[in-house]
Amino acid sequence: MNETLSRSWALLLGVMLLQVGNGIQGTLLGVRGALEQFSTFEMSLVMSAYFVGFLGGSRFAPELIRRVGHVRVFAALGSFISAMLILFPSIAHPVAWIVFRVIMGFCFSGVYVTAESWLNNAASNENRGMALSLYLVVQMVGIVSAQGLLAMGDPSGFILFVIPSVLVSISFAPILLSVSPTPPYETAKPMGVLELFRRTPLSCVSIFLLGGVFSAIFGMTAVYGGAAGLSVVQISIFVAVIYLGGLFLQFPIGYISDRMDRRRLILIVAAMGCAASILGMVSGRFEILLVAAFFIGGSANPLYGLTIAYTNDYLDPDDMASASGRLLFLNGVGAIGGPLALGWMMQTIGPEGFFAFIAILMAVLVIYGVYRTFRRRAPSVRDQGSFVPVSLTATSVAITATHDVHAEQGAEDPAGPIAAPAALAPEGEDEPHETFDAAALDRRRMMRSGE
């Protein structure tokens, strides 16, 4: 850990400050929108706009980096983020906020791509997993800290928009002034969505549904709080507890996932999230809402990492870079539609629609996962790769890095078993598996032997 911190402390500090700015604006806009008398549908459009920009940024930011370099992209996008935060209270109109949120989503996506490239370049083969874990922790700490700032300020004024703007501006200083070399950036040809679905349909469905869950948590929690009559302090605590649940349960669930059938654990965690959502829907006590929030966050965030790890189990070592773009696309489409569907549900059945929406998505994941268990066997536990914690805001760089950890740790166990042909065949195929990809088996054997 000391080596990881010494090589990337400036980047991690900058990311934490950046997440303070991002975390406070996500909650603050929900509260301020209610004060400006925006309707639930208008706020759902505002929140959805961020993910439109984020999806666009994941597509075009790499091209910007190749053209002008990491440093210029990092500084330019950071300046736009800082400016947008100041413009929100200056132009309090839904259309303007939608435009600002699209720009912010694009900029944050580009910033994350740049930061994760630097982090991956600074990490070695031995500490890459630790670096990704620290990256997740500092992001969560930043978002939770942001809720404390919101609780101490007045959402009807300007100061709560000025503070994150200043923090975002400051966040780039330790990164840009550090002596870390600029990393190379390479992209792979994307794998087709249909090809990815053929190999691992559960991963595709899970990542799509989790996009909707994430957008509900990140964008609409404060909107729910306002509609449910919670105070600003209560909303801040509610949001903070969601992310604390994701932080505290991430590592225990990841530890368990390396020691049991990962697909079965995905079903258990999704069922936990569904049960917690139902608890929040039927209870009106704030203390019970916090319990529900803890387990909703504690299921949604680990599920993302579990899905990535499960995908790694079905891909060859050289395929994850190309598959990561398709995973992000599916997740982004789900995130864009999430606030819109949730806004409609909240207008139809009231604030309880927030929990009902998450419960439905989690239930669909459980039902589809159970269906998949009857379609094919899961890999044996010894053939699974290692779990690596992944933030819900991760870009293709971090997702690809998880596969690097998967391959490196697999190579450390040359005496370990080679995956059986049935486990290497695409998950979408029915049993019995009469044929398999021999080349994939050879590549997996080489990876295991360290060649």
Each residue's pLDDT tens digit, 138-169: 889 989 998 988 888 888 889 999 988 998 88
In the chain, how many domains are there? Answer: 1
What is the separation, in whole angstroms, between the first and last Cα of the chain?
A: 27
| CA–CA distance, 358 with 44 (Å, rounded to integer) | 15
Q: Is residue 184 part of a domain?
A: no
The tokens for 412 are 């450390």
| CA–CA distance, 39 with 201 (Å, rounded to integer) | 37
Model confidence at 117, pLDDT cuts 50, 70, 90, reads confident
Residues 6+ apart with CB under 8 A from 434: none
Model confidence at 427, pLDDT cuts 50, 70, 90, reads low
The tokens for 78 are 């950071």
Average pLDDT of the segment spanning 214-227: 91
Out of 81-95, 131-145, 178-192, least confident range? 178-192
Residue 406: per-residue pLDDT: 63
pLDDT at 260 over 50: yes
| CA–CA distance, 236 with 148 (Å, rounded to integer) | 7
Percent of the chain with pLDDT over 90: 39
Model confidence at 190, pLDDT cuts 50, 70, 90, reads low
Out of 64-68, 187-191, 247-251, least confident range? 187-191
Q: How much is the pTM?
A: 0.84
Q: Is residue 7 part of a domain?
A: yes
Q: Is residue 435 part of a domain?
A: no
Q: Is residue 442 part of a domain?
A: no
Model confidence at 419, pLDDT cuts 50, 70, 90, reads very low
- pLDDT, greater one: 411 or 155: 155
* Closest CA relative to residue 413, chosen from 445, 438, 379: 445
Sign of the torsion angle spanned by Cα atoms 424, 430, 431, 434? negative
Q: Is residue 429 part of a domain?
A: no
Dihedral angle computed from the Cα positions of residues 274, 266, 223 and 280, in that order, rounded to the nearest 10 degrees: 20
Q: Is residue 323 part of a domain?
A: yes
Q: What is the pLDDT of residues 376-393, one digit of tens each?
A: 777 777 777 777 777 777
Residue 445: per-residue pLDDT: 41
Say if residues 386 and 405 touch (Cβ distance below 8 Å): yes
Give me the domain span that covers residue 118: 2-172+191-424
C-alpha 32, offset from chain centre = 25
- Using the 8-state DSSP alphabet, how is residue 392 labeled? T
* Closest CA relative to residue 448, chosen from 323, 319, 256, 316: 316
Q: Amino acid identity, residue 81?
A: I
Backbone angles phi, psi at 315, to 5 degrees: -115, 150
CA angle at residue 124 from 123 to 130, to 5 degrees?
Answer: 60
pLDDT at 276 over 80: yes
Q: What is the pLDDT of residues 294-317, one digit of tens each?
A: 999 999 999 988 888 888 888 776
Can you give the CATH number for the domain in which 130 is found?
1.20.1250.20
Residues 6+ apart with CB under 8 A from 79: 169
Query: Over the chain, what is the mean pLDDT?
Result: 81
Q: Is residue 85 part of a domain?
A: yes
Residue 255: per-residue pLDDT: 87
Q: Is residue 100 part of a domain?
A: yes
* Closest CA relative to residue 269, chosen from 313, 300, 293, 310: 300
Out of 7-11, 29-33, 175-179, 233-237, least confident range? 175-179
Widest Cα–Cα separation across the chain: 67
Listed ranges 101-105, 323-327, 446-450; the one with the highest mean pLDDT? 101-105
| CA–CA distance, 59 with 203 (Å, rounded to integer) | 21
Model confidence at 63, pLDDT cuts 50, 70, 90, reads confident
pLDDT at 413 over 50: no
- Assign 3-class secondary structure to 344-373: HHHHHHCCCHHHHHHHHHHHHHHHHHHHHH
pLDDT at 51 over 50: yes
